[in-house]
Structure 1
Amino acid sequence: MDSNEWLKRWNDRTLRYAHRCLDPAHPIAISCDRERLSRFDTQIALLSATNLFGRMSPNVVLAFEDAPINAALPWPGTSLHTHILSGMRAANPFGTYQARDLSPMDFRIHIGRGHEGFVVDGTGWNAYVGPGPSPLPEQRDGNGFGAALAVVVAAAQLFRNPFNQITKPFIGNALDWSDTVTHHEHDFVHAPDIGRIHFIGLGSVGSAALYYLGLATRSFIPTLIDMDRIKIHNLTRSPIFIAADCVDETKYPEGGVYKVAAARRFLNEIGISDVVSDPAALHQSVYWREREAGTPDIVVSAANEHDVRYHIEMGYPPVQVYATTGKNWQVALLRHHPGDDACSMCVFPPERSKIPMACATDHVTVPETGEQIDAALPFLSFGAGLMTAAEIVKLALPGFPFSRARVNLNLRTDPIMTATPIPHRTGCTCEQRNKAVHLQMFTGSRYA
């Protein structure tokens, strides 16, 4: 497969979803406040921005000084430049990724508080994108979720109005998902012990949730369940898949390595060795069908095939946290607690052949074959994963929950975040579920 065919496949889902990509000839230069370069939240923003922009464009410049990676991150002491550049090149070996000074041709995105142009700032739970300087109050370092949220919003703004400066600022926070600044850190603990998590689906959203959770903490025990293999078009939407995971699809159309294998490699690289992976559909997985009562503590249900939500709900799950993306540039974060009125089948009825927000996807029909495929924009998948990871970390914080069970982030226009309850659907299969058995199954889990 030559480079033209490879890049065609690399951009395939973005083109099907939005019918355009960013101009590959226009460099995106990422700069940073020198005095903030060593901070955890700043480096979260830099890692997230370069990973995301490097999958949206083949032309990204590091226009900031090199520094060691913060000791609280998985690669402490490693050169920030070396780690970032090797990661972008691994995801797209045909891109132009380099570290150099700013050029007049660059479109500059500035991480931090200063600069007059396109400023992306995050501190604590809070996020800001807009003209500099940033108005956010300084908060204790160690929480990178506000910084990562700012990056996702900035990527959407850049894609919506390519290479234009922002005139209308965005302010929001990842604690209660509102368009305000939160001044309370709610006893945030860096690198918390999360417990046992079943990741059901390791596609774009599932892998992005794993990525952001892994940046926040390595204290969790994951079980990975997904039957799919990686294809080139997956690379733009997942922060952990790389070109080496793929094969020449003209010869091997089934794809490359299993997604659970790539996810396990990432977890091992960041220092998590206690990993179970199963390249199977959920209903075929012994780790789900034969699990003991009280396990796992959390389910990340980031899949939507083979009636997976039916099998989850009939398996009497613990708390579920997941996010979906849709065709109108939106992300929806959803949370289901055992005993609540609404289950995931209330939102995604199994009898419906098409749902409005499939996991990480909008279903697009290929004109030549009539085949339905999944398509999404990179920042939507990253945003869905980020929101999932943030909500998981908040589970153990005093005062949880901080928002209603469903949060919508709309990025098609000026970013808007709204929270609503999830209503029970009359006639849903969960009405026949045995509540005593459900209680027995989740009793003993960490967040029961």
Structure 2
Amino acid sequence: MEAAEWYRLRNDRTNRIDDILLDSNAKVISVIVRKYSTLSDQAMAICTANILSRWCRRVSFYISEDIPCLFNNWKGMKLHEVIMEIMNSSDPYGEFSIKSKNDIVETDLSISIGSTTKDNEFWINSEGWVAGFGFGPTQNEIGTKSDDINIIGAIYASSVINAAAFSSYIYESKPEPFDRWISLLDFETSSQHQELKNPIVNNALNIGKIWQIGAGAVGSSFDFILSLFPVSGSIEIIDFDKVEIPNTSSSLIFTAKHAKTKTSKVEACNEALRFNNNLLVQLNPDMDYSQFMREIDLEAKYPDLILCFANEKNIWSTIQHNEPPIVLHATTSNNWGVNFGRHIPFEEWCIVCRFGIKDYEHIPVCSTSSEVGKDKQEEKLGILPFLSPIAAVLVFSEVLKLSMRETLDSPMDKNFIQLSMKNVDSSSPHSFFRKPKVNCSICSEQNESSYYTGYKKSKYYL
């Protein structure tokens, strides 16, 4: 396949967004790795490279070549080798390079991993739950860092700075200086990272038995994050789809090779998850959730938690009709937005309360999902490359909070989060609490006396 055809297909979903056009006139983006000593530092570099390579064809990384990678996924490799491997596998035609920090030259856009004194650079920083990002000289620096395994803040910061750089890249605008800090624990923001909650995550954390329904852009990005955490437990992944070229623009896992060989999405996710020896992974390719439910012994396999990353074949009503435990779900929109939701049985709105079960003219968007128009024809919707990782981070942070709920000083009083990446310098997450709808066609008829009793035995039963 010629490069022009690759980019036409790869950028198709991105270019479906209004006012967006990625073409052959690619600008150069420089990434200067100024911090690399902790897991958070290296996660920022790796994830920034991963997302960048899915929308920018020309990226130069300025990094020392003697830095060992701290993640088991790339044991024995140098950090710069990991960065190049990820970018080249994401885009086989990209112009990616590693350069010395002594030879930094000015390019169209620059991103600093760590603080900066420059007035024309984006920057990110993180520690644990806390993410920092901005443009121009950093006003508030992270000092001594812990050895916390938690890289939630790092992945969020990497995704957000991609959104900011993407906006500047597309609209050819220079942002005003800004400096923002946020904790993914409670979504509080501050100009001082020290004021935000940031408890240590136990490195022996068990996430229980999880069913993951869907391994598309959001689901695969979730699995990429999970592969970097040394947590234990089990995850059962259900998806009947295979990787195609357009899928490589918005997933942290899918590569050009996966698309060329039409690899099963669950198999591609398993390639990343295999590095976690404490995690039992079970795959269900060529199968949708309805078929999965028909074939299993529910009593033997009832999960502690369900993650819904799919929206096909009446998936929401199927989940709720089968009396699930806690359900987490996240979607992206074609207007730079991300939504997250949680359902605790009998206490919170269910997945049908949110999405409904009738045939919608406009189906709620789940990553690179489809929209059904008035003529009932399926039309592919747009997706921006950085939105799926953000949606995945929101779900993963909730999994951690549920796993740590007995020791975590974080109230679970919010079950719906909306945020926009359109203007990251000024926008903040909006969080709400949604009760069950009194007229929900499914959960309004469900009660504790008739519900499947296995949910009370789940790890996350509240």
TM over 0.5: yes
**Paired residue secondary structure (1:320):** strand
2:453 equivalent in structure 1: 440
Compute the displacement of 1:443 (Å): 1.9
1:251 equivalent in structure 2: none
For structure 1, which runs of at least 5 residues remain unmatched after alignment?
248-254
Do residues 128 (structure 1) and 129 (structure 2) align? no
Compute the displacement of 1:187 (Å): 4.3
Q: Deviations over 1:361-390 (max 9, x none)?
A: 475689999541132101111110111111
Change (3 A) 1:2 1:194: same
In the TM superposition, 1:150-229 aligns within 5 A as 150-162=157-169, 164-180=174-190, 181=193, 182-190=195-203, 192-229=205-242
In the TM superposition, 1:281-430 aligns within 5 A as 281-286=288-293, 289-292=296-299, 295-355=302-362, 357-361=364-368, 363=370, 371-397=378-404, 398-402=408-412, 404-413=414-423, 414-428=426-440, 429-430=442-443
Distance of 2:360 and 2:366 partners within structure 1: 14
Name the stretch that deviates more: 268-277 or 312-321: 268-277
Name the stretch that deviates more: 222-231 or 15-24: 15-24
Name the stretch that deviates more: 407-416 or 39-48: 407-416
Do residues 240 (structure 1) and 253 (structure 2) align? yes
- Would you say the 8 A contact 1:123–1:146 is kept in 2? yes
Distance of 1:226 and 1:437 partners within structure 2: 30
Distance of 1:294 and 1:333 partners within structure 2: 26
Distance of 2:5 and 2:71 partners within structure 1: 40
Quick one: percent identity of the two aligned structures? 26
Distance of 2:345 and 2:387 partners within structure 1: 28
2:26 equivalent in structure 1: 25
Distance of 2:332 and 2:460 partners within structure 1: 26
CA RMSD of aligned residues (A): 2.6
Compute the displacement of 1:412 (Å): 1.5
Distance of 1:4 and 1:378 partners within structure 2: 19
Distance of 1:368 and 1:100 partners within structure 2: 53
Do residues 146 (structure 1) and 153 (structure 2) align? yes
Compute the displacement of 1:229 (Å): 1.1
**Paired residue secondary structure (2:386):** helix
Compute the displacement of 1:5 (Å): 1.2
TM-score by length of 2: 0.87
Compute the displacement of 1:75 (Å): 2.6
Name the stretch that deviates more: 438-447 or 378-387: 438-447
Aligned length: 439
Change (3 A) 1:406 1:121: same
Name the stretch that deviates more: 404-413 or 348-357: 348-357
- Would you say the 8 A contact 1:22–1:56 is kept in 2? no
Compute the displacement of 1:268 (Å): 1.6
Change (3 A) 1:426 1:361: farther
- Would you say the 8 A contact 2:362–2:373 is kept in 1? no
- Matched AA of 1:21: L
**Paired residue secondary structure (2:269):** helix
Q: Deviations over 1:136-171 (max 9, x none)?
A: 544524221112211111111112222635523332
Distance of 2:111 and 2:453 partners within structure 1: 51
**Paired residue secondary structure (1:176):** coil
